[in-house]
A and B are shown apart, each in its own frame.
Chain A
Amino acid sequence: MTEVQQHWDPIFGRLTLSQVPYDNLIVCFAFFFAATLGLVILGALTYYRKWGYFWREWLTTIDHKRIGIMYAVVGTVMLFRGFVDAIMMRTQQVMAAGPASPGYLGAEHGYLPPYHYDQIYGSHGTIMLIFAATPLLAGFMNFLVPLQIGARDMAFPYINALAFWLTAVGAALTMLSLFVGDFSHAGWVGLAPLTELPYSPDVGVDYWSWAIQIGSVGTTLGAVNIITTIIKMRAPGMTWMRLPLFTWTSLTTNVIGLTAFPVLGVAIGLLSLDRYFDTHFYTTGMGGNFMLYTDLFWIWGHPEVYFIILPSWGIMSEIIPTFSQKKLFGYPVMVAATLSIGCISWTVWLHHFFTMGAGPIVNGFYSVATMLVAIPTGVKVFDWALTMVRGRVTFPTPMLWAVSAIFMQIIGGWTGMMLAIPAINYMTHNGVFVIAHFHCVVMVTVFAVIGGTTFWFPKVFGFTLHETSGKWVFWLLVGGTFIVFTAMFILGLTGMPRRLAYVPYASWWPILAIEELGVFVDIAALGAFIYQMWVSIRDRELNKAGRDPWGTSRSLEWMTHSPVPAYNFAVIPHVNARDEWAWRRDYRLHHVMPNEFKDIELPVNTPVPMFIGICSAAFGFAMIWRIWWLAIVSLVAMIAIVCLRSFGGSTGTTIPADEVRRLERLAARPSMRSRPETAIPEGVVVLGGGDAR
């Protein structure tokens, strides 16, 4: 074991009271805010006697819909945290422009000392990509994929719950770093060799590495589950060429997740070996090679970009046909484009460091490979546009988000093509032009996620979101985003480097001030979002949604009730068309309900995934603080739990057919009630005929 420079004792490792930054006003405020919120939630659970409900229905659930919602909650909380980090960075830069800028709170310029500022940009990137975007999209995939393919549950409900808990533990460790110890100051990419122990002697890098390590095990397990679900659990008649596009993108994205995250595990694992065992993988002396880290990291890092963007495109591909009242233009081409982007994502990683000096042939290869991405992406943009052409286009909030995401995609894509040229890259490397570029791309994800949330919210919770305030959120966030990143593009072309705690030129101040203005608009958007949630929840009885609140939606998830019952579909639908629900509506079959119910088998809840999650949290914490006894105990406990669980048989619970009938009657609203007399075409079998697949 490597000797650390500071205090260490066998019981508490490196943990001492002085590691709690109670002398930092900003952290104290954050702690006060988080503690108050936490106490309010715990108090409410106790006051309303909801602990039993919380345990039974959420903590121990292995229902893919509940897990999807929990993913989304974790993602939303982390999105908020990452947003606050962004506000702090923008504010620091606008306050610290030019040598004459004053300093507050112990900083020479602005209000954040460089070491604190560095941790903030490290945590902003880590959180936004790994603990906000990834869980939010995992939430969508968890909730929607089984519904879209007509399945009762995932292939591995227990693994699915485990994946969620590991992701949540990763997020929790990141949050904990705020109050105990510090976070990595080496950027979300973990710039080697800065992350090596001599240059980062504190626990920050360890927090970063273990949070990512544990979270990405979760992502890998989740990928195994979703891929298997899509391959094996499809309803009869759901052929590959009938799969909704969101499911296609989920499949592709999880293939990326399955193959890319292990490489990240190796990249960061070798770094941890350097930090804990004094090895020399990435050190500058003793035969290490820190470009090895950069390569391994980006071999994961670039596919991860597509991991985040592909499901967002899937969401857009569901929203746009719905509000164009037309089937998606060029479906087979869209599928091919999705798969080819998944393949190309593996061949472009070197464009993140053209300036490494790999030589013109290597740079040229990766430059051309990067430009190839534009072809399938362009295909997608044209397909969305042509879906709208000659459609009956309406613009409720989800459609606004989807269409603006296309614009964002075009801006992000164009600037990406500029950056794909190594000559330009030599000018813009490590500059804010790059930052503006990739923020435009990840904003596609933000827009798609918010649009998707509005779109599927009634399916998840049974009532629609307030439309007018939703449009306020839209215009404010889109406006703020354009202000911030247009200004940032200009600064980037002026030559401003990224990650500056102090901006040396006062002449950049006006543009930084415009960025800050944009941030204020974004804060207003957050306010509008909170207002929208409050109004929507308050008026939920007025906004109750039927099966298909939009009236024009197309895929299987809209065939079942809102909110979706535990068994998803009372009777598994037999799929006859690509957009089955639209097909049934077109042929007036959408009122036809199944006339016969059978017992339904469902997996039973289990707290085991949560226990494994708790053990992994203890393990991560122990490794970060070098509390070896706790690390060993929790690791052994984790292995023991997995082994012992395998001795229990697989358990399920049965919902009897009568209960299903009763629940179905209860859920069917008057307008939706079964009316078998409404003109079923001759020969159509409502129920029966069996499995035609």
Chain B
Amino acid sequence: MIVAGLHDDPPGPGTVLWADIDHEHDMMSTRMLGFWLYMLSDSLIFAALFAAYAVLSYPTSFMGGPTPRDVASPLYGYAETVVLFTSVFAYGMVMVKLRHDLPRAAIGWLLVSFLIGAFFIGMETHELRDVALAGGPPQRSGFLSIFWCVVVAHGVHLLFGLLWMLVMVAQIARDGFTQLVTYRLANLKVYWLYQGLIWTFVYTFVYLRGSI
């Protein structure tokens, strides 16, 4: 028999009718899988936004206003990339401290990751303010609408990640590395790394492609 279950055997010696133990499902892997599935749906949000960006980044959508080259500076974007991935790296250190069972050090790295992440948000806010002041608010043209939308959608994701970090700081401080805290830290790792990944797409599509 190649595929188990493709043919049904008659009952015989060794056939078991009821599971003896209430078979334990691995809570950690179940919850991680659920979170990965959520991340998949989140990817689709960004996929749709990037598709919209592709549609609305032609000259017909500029309406004589700022073009991608005017609003996105690849060098500033590069600095932002470095900052965000430093935060992702700091979060990686949280996971190292988790493995070594050092809650206080983990809290320290969480705060480092939080502060660098918050600095990224600050850089982004500064950049968007400049764009708005230079005559590029989202209401100016179809292109600027989607430019703001993509960047802000990513930023809002980061804000929720930052909030999540603060919650985890409190939970590690209160409970230590319990099973619940551990899987939440693992999921936040996926989330934070994923936001970095999305940023690489934003940087490639919006900043690099826009500067050509």
> How far, in Å, is A154 (CB) from chain B's closest CB?
10
Is A468 interfacial (CB 8 A cutoff)? no
Contact B55 A643 (CB under 8 A): no
Closest A residue to B35 using CB positions: A224
Is A207 interfacial (CB 8 A cutoff)? no
Contact A279 B145 (CB under 8 A): yes
Contact B48 A262 (CB under 8 A): yes
Is A450 interfacial (CB 8 A cutoff)? no
Give the residues in chain B near A691, CB-CB below 8 Å. Answer: 19-21, 23
Give the residues in chain B near A289, CB-CB below 8 Å. Answer: 55-56, 61, 142
Contact B44 A263 (CB under 8 A): yes
Q: Which B residues between 32 and 80 are near A, CB-CB below 8 angstroms?
A: 33-34, 37-38, 40-42, 44-45, 47-49, 51-52, 55-56, 60-63
Closest B residue to A235 using CB positions: B19
Contact B55 A690 (CB under 8 A): no
Is A571 interfacial (CB 8 A cutoff)? yes
Contact B22 A156 (CB under 8 A): no
Is A265 interfacial (CB 8 A cutoff)? yes
Count of chain B residues near A, Cβ 8 A: 62
Contact A265 B22 (CB under 8 A): no
The contact of A280 among B45, B55, B142, by CB within 8 Å, is B142
Give the residues in chain A near B60, CB-CB below 8 Å. Answer: 287
Contact B15 A685 (CB under 8 A): yes
Give the residues in chain B near A258, CB-CB below 8 Å. Answer: 37, 40-41
Is A292 interfacial (CB 8 A cutoff)? yes
Contact A286 B142 (CB under 8 A): yes
Contact B16 A692 (CB under 8 A): yes
The contact of A279 among B26, B31, B138, by CB within 8 Å, is B138
Is B212 interfacial (CB 8 A cutoff)? no
Is A233 interfacial (CB 8 A cutoff)? yes
Give the residues in chain B near A172, CB-CB below 8 Å. Answer: none
From known contacts A231-B33, A263-B44, A281-B142, infer whether A689 and B10 are also in contact, taking CB-CB under 8 Å: no
> How far, in Å, is A280 (CB) from chain B's closest CB?
4
Is A236 interfacial (CB 8 A cutoff)? yes
Contact A296 B18 (CB under 8 A): no
> How far, in Å, is A294 (CB) from chain B's closest CB?
11
Show 5 A/B contacts (Cβ-Cβ < 8 Å), sorted by A.
Answer: A260-B44, A278-B139, A572-B23, A576-B8, A576-B15
Is B133 interfacial (CB 8 A cutoff)? no
Is A270 interfacial (CB 8 A cutoff)? yes
Is B146 interfacial (CB 8 A cutoff)? yes
> How far, in Å, is A685 (CB) from chain B's closest CB?
5
Question: What is the CA–CA distance of A584 and B10 in the complex, to the nearest angstrom?
Answer: 9
From known contacts A270-B52, A684-B12, A685-B14, infer whether A242 and B5 are also in contact, taking CB-CB under 8 Å: yes
Contact A228 B3 (CB under 8 A): no
> How far, in Å, is A273 (CB) from chain B's closest CB?
7
Is A47 interfacial (CB 8 A cutoff)? no
Most chain A beta carbons < 10 A, residue from B25, B29, B171: B25
Contact A228 B6 (CB under 8 A): no
> How far, in Å, is B55 (CB) from chain A's closest CB?
5
Which residues of B come within 8 Å of A, CB atoms? 3-6, 8-23, 25-26, 29-31, 33-34, 37-38, 40-42, 44-45, 47-49, 51-52, 55-56, 60-63, 138-143, 145-146, 148-149, 163, 167, 170-171, 174, 180, 184
Give the residues in chain A near B8, CB-CB below 8 Å. Answer: 576-579, 583
Contact A266 B45 (CB under 8 A): yes
Contact B171 A646 (CB under 8 A): yes
Is A277 interfacial (CB 8 A cutoff)? yes
Contact B11 A574 (CB under 8 A): no
Most chain B beta carbons < 10 A, residue from A224, A242, A571: A224
Contact A287 B48 (CB under 8 A): no
The contact of B10 among A156, A242, A262, A587, by CB within 8 Å, is A587
Contact B25 A232 (CB under 8 A): yes
Give the residues in chain A near B63, CB-CB below 8 Å. Answer: 280, 286-287
> How far, in Å, is A643 (CB) from chain B's closest CB?
5
> How far, in Å, is B34 (CB) from chain A's closest CB?
4
Closest B residue to A220 using CB positions: B41
Question: What is the CA–CA distance of A231 and B30 in the complex, to the nearest angstrom?
Answer: 9
Contact A594 B11 (CB under 8 A): no
Give the residues in chain A near B174, CB-CB below 8 Å. Answer: 647
Is A650 interfacial (CB 8 A cutoff)? yes
> How far, in Å, is B160 (CB) from chain A's closest CB?
8
From known contacts A683-B13, A683-B14, infer whether A232 and B33 are also in contact, taking CB-CB under 8 Å: yes
> How far, in Å, is B207 (CB) from chain A's closest CB?
20
Given contact pairs A576-B9, A687-B20, a sample of 18 additional A-B residue pairs in the complex whose CB atoms are under 8 Å apart: A220-B41, A223-B37, A232-B30, A241-B6, A262-B48, A281-B52, A286-B142, A289-B142, A572-B18, A573-B19, A574-B18, A578-B5, A579-B8, A649-B180, A683-B12, A683-B14, A684-B17, A685-B14
